[in-house]
Structure 1
């Protein structure tokens, strides 16, 4: 993503190193460097001609004395500081050889994912923390389900351990019916520890105590910032279809976005699919995790991740079998 003075982003590889207890390894930056004194994920600048994996191996050997054995892409993003633009290529390291040590004198700490938000990280690291807290699939309720049908399917699906983030989308309902359904859905989700996003007025999501709001095209265009009284962990997401809406989502400070349609879909049969190359281009412009929507199934999760995505979203193909019709 170009800036007004056409600076080239500094290419950086970042490692989210996980232990067998699900904790992340973080290190503290020296006081006399850029963003000094803040906690960060290990990594560093890619040298000219280095691949991501070569840079990852070198940086972890130099900083921590370990060798990565298994890793997967987590997120790629570009962030603008007042004095520097960085492009972060972030991987999740799930297996490594050696015992991490602060070979450059940096303090180390193993921290649970849910405790990362409380640490003082550089702003560029915040989307990484968000990506760690989000699942690899995002379920969206189909338009054709009536309220009772939706309650039955939702209750059935919430028993699946893969289901942890759901969007309640019901444009066929008037405001009163939607609010009543949202209250019931929230009660069901609370019992199962599932987060529920409302595709509705942000004030309604706030007033009902939902976990977040999903902004459709019109609400994204009208967005004027987070309403007052929101919890710090309240999520703001948006639907993105092109570069213009991706820019709007960046300006809105979205916690994640959904890009569609990536592949042909029955929901919008006349829409031309973006394809994976265009999805990757849009994901690279995002400042947050990105889900692929349109013709997706759980089998597409590795492909979405390989193209810079968090995972997949689905109105039909991502729901558990008990919800299909």
Structure 2
């Protein structure tokens, strides 16, 4: 007979508490409540929200909780899913289902001077820059939410090096992207050069020339080492410009395969920076959710978004059948992190992406000046 200590835990006996979290904002002003010292995680600020009842959807709970706590009616406002955060406390599990809700100017003017909620809790509107800078003490679980809020509404992806037929393709690549990136753009720097060192050096040159942009760079097992060597000769500003690493669909599935076979630990993706992952179907989204959960549990930098593609037909991959908005929306709902639309899109499609469960759009041709 198996000993008590070796018996598996019955997952169905662990209570899962689903909580709806409303990240309410008007432009760059965000609404926070303040937890009383007597409460769990007391003396901290928090986003509005509460427990999802058994007969409610997450969005229904958002509407009810916001009305009960503040009196604000958000029934007609668009709730954009940011993601889900899972926390295991042993005897219970908590799932925070987080939505971003932009209110109207009329709503903001009506509630901007409301210092206390209907339950007596203090309320305050804070500037996004100060919120992201950590000026407000939030529960630890909210750090990932702040990482999600840093994401822009659109991202540019650089042309591959092969696009430039110049005798000096690297120089042509650098000149084009220096001149055509929008101001303060987020850009996924995907050069596809032969060597990591050459790509890193060209990336460094671009960031030096465009100190206003934020860069996502490809993940490589040696990328941390390569960048450390590179940044020894570069300034600290450039270091801050690299905000995330990109994990390909193939790398993601290789990670999951290795962990399932027990070959490596969940921390093998050894990036000290947040990750953005490419997904194409439900299976890869499931893998991304597993990776995000593993990194959260080990207190590593989070998976802050996925590129979900292709939404529409794209010249980059003309032989791939696009998902279409309906199927894309169904897949986006499965993700535990923000979803970025990719494939045949333009910046003008960002509102359409939001209506279908995304938070941003990305692309190449139509995302440069």
Q: Greater share of helix residues, 1 or 2? A: 2
1:30 and 1:312 map into 2 onto residues whose CA distance is 39
1:292, distance to aligned residue in structure 2 (A): 0.7
**How many Å separate the matches in 1 of 2:143 and 2:334?**
16
8 Å contact 2:23–2:30 — kept in the other structure?
no
- Quick one: which of 62, 70, 73 aligns to 2:79? 73
* 2:130 paired residue among 107, 115, 121: 115
Residues 9 and 149 (structure 1), Cα distance of their counterparts in 2 relative to 1, 3 Å cut: farther
Cα RMSD (Å): 3.2
Rounded Cα–Cα distance in structure 2 between residues aligned with 1:59 and 1:216: 38
Structure 2 residue runs of 5 or longer lacking an equivalent are 1-9, 232-238, 256-265, 293-302
Q: How does 1:201-212 map to 2 (within 5 A)?
A: 201=220, 202-203=223-224, 204-205=226-227, 207=229, 208=231, 209=239, 210-212=242-244
Q: Are 1:314 and 2:363 an aligned pair?
A: yes
* 1:122 Cα offset (Å): 4.3
Q: Does 1:188 align with 2:209?
A: yes
Tell me if the contact between 1:73 and 1:91 (Cα under 8 Å) persists in the aligned partners. Answer: yes
**1:17 and 1:94 in contact (8 A); partners too:** no
Distance 1:85 1:197, change over 3 A: closer
Of stretches 73-82 and 26-35 in structure 1, the one that deviates more from structure 2 is: 26-35
1:14 to 22, 46, 49: 22
SS in 2 for 1:211: strand
CA apart distance, 1:47? 6.0
8 A Cα contact 2:67 2:73, kept in partner: yes
> Residues of 1 paired with 2:143 and 2:123: CA distance?
19
- Give the direction of change, closer, same or farther, for the CA distance of 1:53–1:218 in structure 2 (3 Å limit): closer
SS in 1 for 2:333: helix
Matches within 5 A, 1:240-279: 240-253=279-292, 254-279=303-328
Post-superposition shift, 1:279?
A: 2.2
Shift in CA distance, 179/273, structure 1 to aligned 2, threshold 3 Å: same
Q: Give the number of equivalent residue pairs.
A: 308
User: Is contact 2:22–2:99 with CA below 8 Å preserved after alignment?
Assistant: yes
Residue 298 of structure 1 aligns with which residue?
347
Contact 1:257 1:289 in 2 (8 A): yes
TM-score normalised by the chain length of structure 2: 0.71
- 1:166 paired with 2:172, answer no
Q: Are 1:93 and 2:136 an aligned pair?
A: no
Q: What runs of 5+ residues in structure 1 fail to find an aligned partner?
A: 321-325
Taking the aligned partners of 2:150 and 2:77, their CA distance within structure 1 comes to 18
Distance in 2 between residues matched to 1:261 and 1:180, nearest whole Å: 30
What TM-score does the superposition give when structure 1 sets the normalisation length?
0.80
One of 6, 13, 27 as aligned partner of 2:33: 27
1:153 corresponds to:
176
Q: Secondary structure at the match of 1:285?
A: coil
Asked whether the equivalents of residues 75 and 131 of structure 1 are also in contact (C-alpha less than 8 Å), the reply is no
The Cα offsets for residues 290-311 of structure 1, whole Å up to 9 and x where unpaired, read as: 1111111112111111111111
Q: Which moved more, 1:31-40 or 1:308-317?
A: 31-40
